[in-house]
Amino acid sequence: MSREPTSRVEIEVNGQIVAHDVPNRTLLVDFLRDVLDLTGTHTGCDTSQCGACTVHLDGIAIKSCTIFAVQAHDKVVTTIEGLDPDGRHPLQTCFQECHALQCGFCTPGMIMAAASLLNVVPEPDAEDVREALEGNLCRCTGYQPIVEAVLRASKELAQ
């Protein structure tokens, strides 16, 4: 193949429409990080396991390392940067208060997966939270504080 085939990709990212020509094999996570400079979304395992790259596609948690940017054309993507303009979303403050992170690498993915759960199950129990975060790996916390943080945030959001 002489020239790398590209596509015009138009996506609403964090409330703003962006349009770029990118090679078709560009993964969404690389589009977000390298083209848009939204480096809050992390590439962890790059094998669809760890969930560090979790973002919302039309409001639903997905792994952005396992979708091409062109597949998100005409859709709405929310990253950790778009969750709250001041970085003070209840999930973010509760993660801090509950010590739900140490190195912080998995945190954006954890929070985006949890936010997606709270969109559909506003008052989850611990079991719901553990189930929703099954696709997110953390090597620091042992998960307990993460579950607590999500439960606390759900209560704050419900008020």
Partner 1 sequence: MTPFTYHSPATLDEASALLLESPDARVIAGGMTLIPTLKQGLARVDRLIDLAGIEALYGIETRGNTLRIGAMTRHHDVATSPLVLARLPGLATLAKGIGDFQVRNRGTIGGSVANNDPAADYPAALLALGATVITNRRQIAAEAFFTGMFGTALEEGELIAAVAFPADIRCAYAKFANPVSGYAMAGTFVALAEGGVRVAVTGAGPGVFRSTLHEAALRERLHPDAARSVPLPEDGMISDFHATAAYRAHLVSVMTARALEELLS
Q: Name which of 3, 12, 26 is nearest 57 in CA terms.
A: 12
102 binds, among partner 1, ligand FAD, none (CB under 5 to 8 A by kind): none
25 binds, among ligand FAD, partner 1, none (CB under 5 to 8 A by kind): partner 1
Q: Write the DSSP assignment of 62-118 as a string of letters.
A: EEGGGSBGGGGTTSEEE-HHHH-TTS--HHHHHHHHTT--SS-SSHHHHHHHHHHHH
**C-alpha to C-alpha distance for 116 and 55, rounded to whole angstroms:** 9
Contact between 95 and partner 1 per CB under 8 A: no
Residue 121: how many CA atoms within 13 Å on its side-chain side?
A: 14
Determine which residue in the list 135, 140, 143, 157 makes contact with partner 1, applying CB under 8 A. Answer: 135
Determine which residue in the list 6, 7, 39, 49 makes contact with ligand FAD, applying CB under 6 A. Answer: 49
Contact between 131 and partner 1 per CB under 8 A: yes
Residues binding partner 1 (CB under 8 A): 1, 4-5, 7, 23-25, 27, 46-48, 51, 54, 60-63, 66-68, 70-71, 113, 116-117, 131-136
Residues binding ligand FAD (CB under 6 A): 48-49
